[in-house]
Amino acid sequence: MGISATSYVISHPSFMEPDLIVQQNQASGAFETLAGGNPRVKIGSEDKNVYIRRVDIRSKVQVNQAAGNLIPSAEIVPSLISAPTYLQRVRAEYDHHDTAMSGIWGISIVDAQSRAMRQGHFQLLRNNLLYGVIPANGEGLLNANGANSVSLPADSFGNTTARPYDNGQMGQFLLQQLGQIKTATNQLGRPRRFVFLLPQRIGALWAYPGIVQLTSYQRPGAGTASISEMVQDVAKSLGDEVLFCYDDTLIGQGSGGTDAMLIVMPEIDVPAPNGGPNTNVFGALAPNFRDCVTMYTDMAAPMEIPTPLPGGAIDVMSELRCSPGWAVRPEAIEVVSITY
């Protein structure tokens, strides 16, 4: 169906507001979890898999006061990891009558159909990023093999749900997760970017009524900072950037039907001391892939292919090929289950 534009009756004299009240859907922040904040536009339209080469090393060195006769060699093991790709397709069909009727309603049917198709693509792209197409294969960030999963522990008052949870203890819990991710990825002491992706109903508790007590957090104007502000301020003092982003499809996606929250460090830095011996010198081997979370597409925006149909109609095919969300360094992800 092109558009459900029916006839309407109005009275005269009257005034018709030229602007439209357009349905608003949540603009998901899920893509902020990707390295660079966007999918990597690198694959071809017919590429069925994406491969990344990885290199593991086991250094072996002999030490003795005298020169040894049997000297070991370093063990360097290359391997491949891969992810499938999927083709997304959607179409629009309309004729000159649909175009004329939509014009009576003040709607450009070409723009409306194009945006509707793109919205469908991007919503499915979000689902592929978070949940994958075949979750059992470890696709999507919530199903990433090796990602750390935790549940919100009880606070000192016995609260285990987000609404009555102690604000100061909640902020401290969130900061602890940042430290654990940095420790697991050997990034402690390196300024990094972190993304919290969570449902709006929990994020609203942390941003507005969640004022942290004076006894939990000291700063100029202490007693006015929210949970999210406390986390951002403490992280900023260490050189980190923290973003709070929202996606309501995470409601009910945690363990036991709780809400899920993703804490992601999308990129790593290659730690190196300032001069002197470097116990991570092999880590600077080039070319070096520094993304922790990635996703591939064959183009930056869906392609549209218009084709004439008999009777004066037009068919517009829109398609995009993408991989699911891919945690190539799963230790950079924490999935936190929180009961609202």
Query: What six digits make up the tokens of 319?
Result: 């398609």
Check residue 305 and give its pLDDT: 97
Higher pLDDT, 224 or 238: 238
**Which residues fall within 8 angstroms of residue 284, CB to CB, at 6 or more apart?**
270, 272
User: Mind listing the pLDDT tens digit for each residue in 216-231?
Assistant: 555 554 556 788 999 9
User: Mind listing the pLDDT tens digit for each residue in 103-117?
Assistant: 999 999 999 999 999
Q: With 90 as the cut, is the pLDDT of residue 71 above it? A: no
Check residue 66 and give its pLDDT: 87
Q: Say if CB 261 and CB 196 are below 8 A apart.
A: yes
Give me the percent of the chain exceeding a pLDDT of 70. 95
Check residue 222 and give its pLDDT: 56
The kind and range of the H/E element at 305 are strand 303-309
User: Mind listing the pLDDT tens digit for each residue in 21-62?
Assistant: 999 999 999 999 999 999 999 999 999 999 999 999 999 998
Angle (nearest 5°) at CA 61 between 55 and 66: 165
Q: Quote the radius of gyration of the chain (alpha carbons, Å).
A: 26
Q: Alpha helix locations (H) across the chain? A: 96-104, 109-130, 167-184, 200-207, 227-237
- pTM score of the predicted model: 0.91
Tally Cβ neighbours within 10 Å of residue 127.
17
**What HEC string does 159-224 produce?**
CCECCCCCHHHHHHHHHHHHHHHHHHCCCCCCCCEEEEEECHHHHHHHHCCCECCCCCCCCCCCCC
As a whole number, mean pLDDT of residues 108-130 equals 96
Give me the percent of the chain exceeding a pLDDT of 90. 81
Fold (topology level) of 25-47+84-271+283-340: hypothetical protein PF0899 fold (3.30.2320)
Q: With 80 as the cut, is the pLDDT of residue 321 above it? A: yes
